[in-house]
Amino acid sequence: MTASATAQASPHAIAVSPLARREVRHYALHPLFWVGTILLAAQVLVSTVSGEGGMSSTLTMIAPAALLGLLGLIIMTSLAKRSDRAAAAAGAPVVPERVRTRALATAILVPGTVALVWFAWAVIYFFKDPRTASPPPTDRSPRHTSSP
């Protein structure tokens, strides 16, 4: 990037990077994120070590959704409130709300990375032991037959 292109860049566009780094750091250091990540790691460890022929397909989907997704919503709400309080305390906002929102949205890199690591584990675990896959449901309802 040349000096003239940098000079022409909006000061708000330049402000996104430090704000984004700050929000990613706040997300990564949030206690709820660590609780969810540790519980997800425990679920992975139990599923991997247990010799019961695999893991529950329901637990496999619910655990990351609840531990990363639901807790992530709570974390993002607290980060947004923190950002709003900081903007209100500063008086006239230094950066527009659009820039703060973009910085907050960048914080999804943290749970997204954990989710990708979990997904890679699930794929490797599945191919290592294909018995863990749930068979397709079968129709076990009684057949309606007409009697002569």
Instruction: List, for residues 91-139, the tens digit of each pLDDT value.
Output: 766 778 888 888 889 999 999 999 999 889 888 877 776 665 555 556 6
pLDDT confidence band for 24 (50 / 70 / 90): very high
pLDDT at 7: 45
Query: Residue 97 to residues 83, 144, 146: CA-CA distances in angstroms?
Result: 10, 63, 69
- Look up the pTM and report it: 0.70
pLDDT at 129: 67
Instruction: List, for residues 40-67, the tens digit of each pLDDT value.
Output: 998 888 877 775 555 666 677 788 888 8
Instruction: List, for residues 74-88, the tens digit of each pLDDT value.
Output: 999 999 898 888 777
**Mean pLDDT throughout 67-78?**
92
pLDDT at 86: 79
Count other C-beta atoms under 10 Å from residue 42's C-beta: 12
Does residue 19 register a pLDDT over 90?
no
Exposure on the CB side of residue 40, measured as CA atoms within 13 A = 27
Top pLDDT among 2 and 21 is at 21
Tokens of 34: 């660590």
Which contacts (CB < 8 Å, 24+ apart) does range 33-41 have?
A: 33/71, 33/72, 33/75, 33/110, 33/111, 35/71, 36/67, 36/68, 36/71, 36/72, 37/67, 37/68, 37/114, 39/63, 39/67, 40/64, 40/67, 40/68, 40/114, 40/118
